[in-house]
Homo-oligomer: A and B are copies of this chain.
Amino acid sequence: MTHQELRRALRVEPENGLVDLGDYSTDRVHVGPKSKKKSQHRLDAMADGLAELQERLYAAATDGDHRSVLLVLQGMDTAGKGGVIDHVVGLVGPSGTQIRAFKQPTAAERKHNFLWRIRKALPAAGMIGVFDRSHYEDVLVPVVHDQLDDAERRHRYKLINDFEAELSESGTTLIKCFLNVSYDRQRDRLLARLDDPTKYWKFNEGDIDSRRQWPDYRWAYAEALAATSTEIAPWYAVPSDHKWYRNWAVATLLLDTLRDLDPQYPLTDLDLPRLRKRLAPPN
């Protein structure tokens, strides 16, 4: 199994409290498929395992097991959060997943602490929750717009780490993925939207404005990852210039996590003969 190796290779490990995103490939790492064709085969091969392990997680929850999984997806525009949801999360089966997308907070949401809306969206026991953007937007965006001073940033990172520690203690395993796309590949993908009328609706000129702030976003991500890649909730920097590699990598992280959890169908004390008799035809 190359799984543990992938986790090691992608895991964000701050050095002296700092992260240099330049250390993390947007292309691929030494583990995993080397071509699109091979990746599709390997992705398909994970589908049954993902579905079965989620069913076991759910079955265990019906018997009091409180565990759940939360996949957090962050990344610049075009990095592929939606693609991961359709092509990786889609392998699990919809009845086992809870997907929540976080847009700009509404007026009502802004009246609360930034974790308020997040807490309401947490996965139930037995489920795989997926966050399409997350509480990390509430540090990244204001940091880029220079709205938080050092002390405020540190305070938010602490709140996030405390929150994630609490989640972990209550049985939720976090898989935090930074979908790492390069500046050039983002341009290619944005240009592609302008070449295809069925993709015009995805185009938002604000994406170009955010792109102009690329260095600021990279800085904000580097600081946030450094501050919150903890032992219990590490970040993974997922190379995302190739959709096939990105999807394979996230699926592998998810499958690997579920295998570690190793949920079991509950032992039950069904009185089989009596139940079978009750179900026998009346005549």
Interface residues of A (CB under 8 A from B): 59, 62-63, 82, 85-86, 89-90, 93-95, 97, 99, 101, 130, 132, 184, 187, 190-191, 194, 197-198, 200-203, 205, 208, 211, 265-266, 268, 270, 272, 275-276, 278-279, 281
Within the complex, which residue of B194, B265, B278 is in contact with A201, where a contact is CB–CB below 8 Å?
B265
When C-beta atoms are compared, the residue in chain B nearest to A99 turns out to be B94
A52 to chain B, nearest CB (A): 9
A101 to B203, CA, bound (A): 34
Q: Residues of B contacting A275 with CB < 8 Å?
A: 194, 203, 205, 208
Given A82-B95, A85-B93, A208-B275, output 14 extra A-B contacts at Cβ < 8 Å. A85-B94, A86-B93, A86-B95, A90-B93, A94-B94, A95-B99, A187-B279, A187-B281, A194-B276, A198-B265, A200-B266, A201-B268, A203-B275, A208-B279
Q: List the B residue with the shortest CB-CB distance to A89.
A: B94
> Are B94's CB and A90's CB within 8 A?
yes
Contacts of A202 in B (CB 8 A): 59
Residues of B with C-beta under 8 A to A191: 276, 279
**Given contacts A89-B94, A94-B86, A97-B94, A197 and B279 within 8 Å (CB-CB):** no
Q: What residues of chain B lie closer than 8 Å to A132, measured between beta carbons?
A: 95
